[in-house]
Amino acid sequence: MTILFVNACMRGEQSRTLQLCREYLEGAEDDVVEVDLAALDLKPFDAAMVAYRTEKQTAREWDDPIFALSRQFVEAEDIVIGAPYWDLSFPSALKIYLEYVSVCDLAFHYTEDARCEGICKARRLTYITTCGGFVEGANYGYEYFCGIAKMFGIPETRLVAAEGLDIVGIDVEARLDKAREQIAQLG
Ligand SMILES: Cc1cc2nc3c(=O)[nH]c(=O)nc-3n(C[C@H](O)[C@H](O)[C@H](O)COP(=O)(O)O)c2cc1C
């Protein structure tokens, strides 16, 4: 099995979130394919891009490069999202990535009775984050991904979070160790 690792850790090698992601992925026996959003530097969808994609969608030209990130996500059996807690959620690069992934008739479709039904293959999505303060359950980034997983038909979502890392005087390594315990329990 292959894990798709969506890396939204914008601070690169300095990122504590990336550190946790790497530890999680090293413990997994599966191959890892990484999408590095800082390196990709995706452009947000504008009117011309929406029009172009709609044209390709209507023609069902799924081999067009505009669908490449969506096809990769849809085919992945296991997904890991690594994203620091920014402004109550996650870096905007991750939202832009979702604009590329969230394609009708690839990631989801509508049934004859007009229900939205997810058609992604992944059996689970693991969301790994670190936060400057104690967010006490208000992790809207993770909650948003729970909604996305539901929409895309991914049955299981899991959260690993190290909180309080920017609090003056806090033992950062101890906070990271708590997250490592969460990782160990995930199995
Ligand atoms: C742009 C930006 C926005 C942030 N917003 C929040 C926030 O809303 N709440 C919070 O507790 N910490 C916030 N932080 C702090 C980060 O969550 C914290 O430093 C995190 O550990 C960064 O992860 P990293 O080391 O992987 O980059 C923010 C940091 C940045 C750079």
Average pLDDT estimate for 4-25: 98
Cβ of 84 below 6 Å from ligand 1: yes
Domain spans of the chain?
2-186
Average pLDDT, the chain: 97
pLDDT above 90: residue 11: yes
pLDDT in tens, 70-118: 999 999 999 999 999 999 999 999 999 999 999 999 999 999 999 999 9
Read off the pLDDT of residues 25-69 as tens digits, 9 standing for 90 and up. Answer: 998 988 999 999 999 999 999 999 999 999 999 999 999 999 999
Is the distance from the beta carbon of residue 89 to the nearest atom of ligand 1 less than 6 Å? no
Which is the closest atom of ligand 1 to the Cα of 18? Answer: 26
Task: Give the closest residue (by CA) to ligand 1 atom 10.
Answer: 132
Rounded to the nearest whole angstrom, what is the distance from the C-alpha of residue 56 to the centroid of ligand 1? 38
Q: Between helices 16-27 and 172-186, what is the axis angle to 10°?
A: 30
Q: pLDDT digits over 20-36, tens only?
A: 999 999 989 889 999 99
Residue listed under structure tokens 């890396």: 7
CA of 24 relative to ligand 1 center, distance in Å: 20
How far is the C-alpha of 52 from the C-alpha of 24, rounded, in Å? 38
Domain covering 2-186 in this structure, CATH number: 3.40.50.360
In order, the DSSP letters of the chain are -EEEEEE--TTGGG-HHHHHHHHHHHH--SEEEEEEHHHH-PPPP-HHHHHHHHHHHHTT-TTSGGGHHHHHHHH-SEEEEE---BTTB--HHHHHHHHHH--BTTTEEE-TTS-EEE----SEEEEEEE-SS--TT--HHHHHHHHHHHHHT--EEEEEEE--TTSTT--HHHHHHHHHHHHHHH-
Q: Say what the pLDDT of residue 108 is.
A: 98
What whole-number percentage of the chain has pLDDT above 70? 100
Interval between CA 5 and ligand 1 midpoint (Å) = 20
**Distance (Å, rounded) from C-alpha 80 to C-alpha 91?**
16
Amino acid 136: pLDDT:
84
20 CA distance to ligand 1 middle (Å): 15
For 157-180, write each residue's pLDDT tens digit: 999 999 999 999 999 999 999 999
The pLDDT value given to residue 155: 98
Best CA proximity match to 125, nearest among 99, 144, 106: 144
Nearest-5° angle of CA 72, CA 75, CA 77?
Answer: 115
Q: What's the 1 CA to ligand 1 centre distance in angstroms? A: 32
**Residue 1 pLDDT class (50, 70, 90 cuts):** confident
pLDDT digits (tens, 9 = 90+) for 134-150: 998 899 999 999 999 99
Can you give the pLDDT at residue 104?
97
Once rounded to an integer, what is the mean pLDDT over residues 5-18? 98
Q: How far apart are CA 77 and CA 81, in angstroms?
A: 13
Residue identifier of the C-alpha nearest atom 29 of ligand 1: 86
pLDDT of residue 187: 72
Cα–Cα distance, 14 to 82 (Å, whole number): 14
